[in-house]
Amino acid sequence: MDMLIDDGWTAAANGAVDPVLNPATNDRIADVPRAGAADVARAVAAAQAGRVAMAALPAHRRYDVLEAVARRIEANQIELGKLLCRENGKRLAETTAEIGVTARIFRGYAEEAKRLFGKSVPLDAIPGRERSLAITRHEPLGVVAAIVPFNYPAELWSHKVAGGLAAGNAVITKAPEDCPLTIIEITRYLQEAGLPPAAHQLLTGGRDVGEALVRSDGVQMISMTGSTAAGRRILEVAAATLKKVQLELGGNDATIVCADADLDHVAAALVAGRFTSGNGQICCAVKRVLVERSVFEALLDKVVQRTAGLKLGDPMLADTDVGPLINARAAARVEAQVAQAVADGARIRIGGSRTDNFFAPTVLTDVQPGTPGFEDETFGPVLPLIPFDRFEEALDLANATPFGLQAAIFTRDIRRVMRAYERLDVGTVVVNHTTAVRVETLPFGGNKWSGNSREGIHDTLLHMSKEKTLLLTDVLGPEA
């Protein structure tokens, strides 16, 4: 496997490579280049011609390219799903579905490329400007660097690359280290669909590649999904060049379960939203469950019973419910976080064991507010249940974290729904459904440590463009 710089597939300038491993078996699937500073500099230089070509490409041609890629993704959905399963470790049904969503996102941005509207602004509210008029339009930023995480690589990348191209920018992708192969394959589709040379380039490698892109004067925007620590670092480095930064970061999403909820429905949603979706590696997964005390034990029993029936194993097999974490480091990190929670007073009701990259779905109780097990994000299949007595107390507990991505509430009481929407400091409040949901046509993102913007079809195009005003003086009314 090579990376794409300018209009050619190439190895790293220094010849370095990284292995791509199957997280379920640790078998070596492929080798990819480990880009260095020279490769980044070459890509950024080429992108300057790519940005000019993209800015000149009319919206209907941008539509044609993105729509062609969407069709090709759909035609190869099964094979792409298998490839993503092998390199990422999510269940095959999940990875195949992710490829379907990726095609849908490409198609959505193709359509939105034709609807990047400006405004006509009457100025007669301003004394002396009664005969004047202003109009605005959106222009490309230039070069967008897309830094992509491992957990939903195709889906999350598609927002950045399709959004950037739809807005008329050149895009440089920094693929995830652990699972770049599916993105590499779809990059071939983009190239073959007729994009101008260097309109999209793809680099593989480590954190230094991303940092070099952030430092570069030739990059006008960074769009990154990843950890809060990485987001902070990007903001620090990007400040030197005043480039635009779009961050979608971690989450510690709370779910509030009220006594009037359907507990069977809730238990199924919690297990799906924490264990069988992404193997627990989702920023908006169910991270903390706050349960009204009168139904706490009943819900706990139902969740433990469902968890006991889950099969941990090979994600390529149809009967597997939960696959591996992305690598041994990730599994060891989750193991250490559970051990710390237990040391702080938590009880393991089921699970808690690790084998290589696999961590058994784990249900905790007695997790104490104020401890890392309550306040910090655990990126793996661990589900803490905490009782509450008053609804306002639940809202306070939900907000008692530095993160603010999404939250959910299960209830039939519309007043409680609206109160939660009013009080919770998050980007989205989900009602009677798991927090592990993202709808591509809605703005997605969080508050506090969870990010600084919103990403989604239409919203992303606005972020990835700049508004320019034309002020027309004394153009209205009869001639003087």
Q: Is 449 left (phi over 0), alpha (psi -120 to 50) or beta?
A: alpha
Instruction: Report the distance separating Cα 452 and Cα 244, nearest Å.
Output: 11
The residue from 179, 258, 283, 284 that is catalytic is 283
Is 283 catalytic? The answer is yes
The residue from 94, 112, 177, 248 that is catalytic is 248
Is 248 catalytic? The answer is yes
Give me the residue label for tokens 């997964």: 285
Tokens of 379: 């990126």
Q: Which residues pair with 135 in a beta bridge?
A: 120, 470
The DSSP bridge pattern shows strands 403-404 and 447-448 to be antiparallel
Residue 336: Cβ within 10 Å count? 11
Catalogue the long-range contacts made by 48-52 (C-beta closer than 8 Å, 24 or more residues apart): 48/143, 48/218, 49/197, 49/198, 50/143, 50/170, 50/196, 50/197, 50/198, 50/199, 50/200, 50/201, 51/140, 51/142, 51/143, 51/169, 51/170
User: Which residues belong to the active site?
Assistant: 248, 283
